[in-house]
Structure 1
Amino acid sequence: MKVLLAGETFAATTSVAVGADVLTSATSINGATAFKAALAAEGIAMTQIGADRCAAEFPFDLDALSQYQAVVISDVGALTLLVTAEARAGRVGVNRLEMLKAYVESGGGLMLAGGYMGFQGMFGTARFHDTPVEDVLPVRCLPFSDGMEVPQGLQASILESSHPIFAGIEKPLPPILGMNKLDFKGDGSSRLLATCHHRSTDWPLLAVRNHGRGRTVAWATDIGPHWLSQDFLGWSLYGRLMGNMVRWLAGTE
């Protein structure tokens, strides 16, 4: 099984004032380290294209994308995929969000994960609302900033424990520290597997959908820190849960 992860890298620049002098340093961070290690332990090899490389290196045609049985998009916004070098130069080119929709309809598996740059995004900057990617998901993105921080922790309620994604998973799930607000589609092809209750609303945490010949997963929180708590990342079944999502997407559950 070949799996592609797009996103989960970022660069941080820090400035420190020491008297009249200002010292600046930069570092690169990969938020998928735990996720990749957990999948490797499950026997799932993954190719990662970091967010800084997605504009140039994410596949530009369906044949290249179709070599992967599952694609995970995590913490990289829609504009990074849409605004190609051709678009910046004012030339007509490929719409990679339309390509992802076609990939699912032709039998691929697509997972959109949450985070500050997931779904619509903490500041409304991820912008997957009203896109071809949203068309194939089991949820609708809200048309505004959708991220919520819950430092006291959210507890998931599992609604369909018999689903293959929860095979071998013992309840309860460890706490999460935030998520994206989403609207479950509730059509006949979508299933809501887990929710989190916050401020009088049950928000979709995990939903799945069969679309065309393919499958999609919406996971409304991070695949790693910081919304996944250290309890979650250290949980013995973290890898099993993430692996089950990918195996279900690829149809190998």
Structure 2
Amino acid sequence: MHTMKLLYVGESWVIHSVHMKGFDAFTTTTYEEGGKSLKDAFESGGIEVDYMPAHIAASSFPDTVEKLAVYDVVVFSDIGSNTFLLHQDTFSKGKITPNRLKIVQEYVEKGGSFAMMGGYFSFQGIDGKAKYAQSPIEEILPVHMMETDDRLEAPEGVIPEIMMDAHPILEGVSKEWPHFLGYNILREKEGSQVIAKCGDHVFMAAGTYGKGRTFAFASDIAPHWGSPKFVNWSCYNTLFVNIAKWLAHNK
């Protein structure tokens, strides 16, 4: 029996802080990861997950379709396009290197599967710095992106409205959803399956590109947008396992 293999990229960061104590100052640096809940969710469904933090992806994300094709599903979460576009050989040495966003596009076109989860460095992101609009990633996803900062902050909390309650992705998932604290503003593409919305905006959408499948989740899989109530929700694991299985043509 084939074990689904998934490449999960992003959800890591470094914080460099300056501590001021009167005349004196010192700095500290910490490294953090925010993707454990999603990784655990995928693994709860028997999915084999290779996790690639953002700083590793910069040099090690696959640069050929053949290398990417060992995975049934590829997931980007809170990692900007520059990490994939500006390999150090290009940025520092001026060398030609493969456009790894085009590699993802070709991988999906040939039958692979891709999902993007929301966040400050997903879709367009904060100050537009994630910069996926008009890229091969927007081409393959079932949504249109804004070309400016696309965040909708909702400190009052927002609850998605389910539009396709019979979709396989929602099998075993409660109709009573927890709140979110924000999301990336997305618009549906013609022919996409809009599974949930927040107001006039797409919250979850599924689609196809070439022989492959793609999925967009507009909010974060962890705080702050993904509220603790969402991350600890009894249906969290079921939802994301369903998403992975649908992408891999297993649902």
Same fold (TM over 0.5): yes
Corresponding residue for residue 216 of structure 2 = 218
User: CA offset at residue 86 of structure 1?
Assistant: 2.9
Q: Does residue 1:45 correspond to 2:43, yes or no?
A: no
Matched residue SS, 1:107: coil
Task: Tell me the distance in 1 between the aligned counterparts of 2:96 and 2:30.
Answer: 35
Matched residue SS, 1:170: coil
Which is further off, 43-52 or 127-136?
43-52
User: CA offset at residue 93 of structure 1?
Assistant: 2.0
TM-score, with length taken from structure 1: 0.95
Which is further off, 203-212 or 79-88?
79-88
Which of the residues 205, 208, 214 maps onto 1:207? 205
Output one character per residue of 1:196-245: Cα deviation in whole Å (capped at 9) or x when no partner. Answer: 12xxxx21000010111100001011122211111111111101001111
Q: Is the 8 A contact 1:6 1:54 kept in 2?
A: yes
Task: Tell me the distance in 1 between the aligned counterparts of 2:49 and 2:222.
Answer: 15
User: CA offset at residue 82 of structure 1?
Assistant: 0.6
Corresponding residue for residue 78 of structure 2 = 75
Which of the residues 193, 203, 221 maps onto 1:191? 193
Q: Does residue 1:32 correspond to 2:35, yes or no?
A: yes
One-letter identity of the residue aligned with 2:134: D
Task: Tell me the distance in 2 between the aligned counterparts of 1:160 and 1:32.
Answer: 27
Which of the residues 8, 11, 16 maps onto 1:13? 16
Corresponding residue for residue 119 of structure 1 = 123
Q: Is the 8 A contact 1:140 1:183 kept in 2?
A: yes
**Structure 2 unaligned runs (5+)?**
none
Output one character per residue of 1:184-205: Cα deviation in whole Å (capped at 9) or x when no partner. Answer: 11x23x11110012xxxx2100
Task: Tell me the distance in 2 between the aligned counterparts of 1:222 and 1:45.
Answer: 22
Which of the residues 185, 190, 208 maps onto 1:181? 185
Poorly superposed stretches of 4+, deviation over 2 Å: none
User: CA offset at residue 23 of structure 1?
Assistant: 2.5
Task: Tell me the distance in 2 between the aligned counterparts of 1:27 and 1:155.
Answer: 33
User: Percent identity between the aligned chains?
Assistant: 37
Corresponding residue for residue 148 of structure 1 = 152
Q: Is the 8 A contact 2:222 2:228 kept in 1?
A: no
User: CA offset at residue 63 of structure 1?
Assistant: 0.5
Q: Is the 8 A contact 2:169 2:242 kept in 1?
A: yes
Q: Is the 8 A contact 1:122 1:148 kept in 2?
A: no
One-letter identity of the residue aligned with 1:94: P
1:124-135 equivalences in 2 (<5 Å): 124-135=128-139
Number of matched pairs: 247
Matched residue SS, 2:122: coil
Q: Is the 8 A contact 1:206 1:218 kept in 2?
A: yes
**Structure 1 unaligned runs (5+)?**
none
RMSD: 1.0
User: CA offset at residue 49 of structure 1?
Assistant: 0.8
Matched residue SS, 1:123: helix
Matched residue SS, 2:174: coil
Q: Is the 8 A contact 2:44 2:237 kept in 1?
A: yes
User: CA offset at residue 45 of structure 1?
Assistant: 2.3
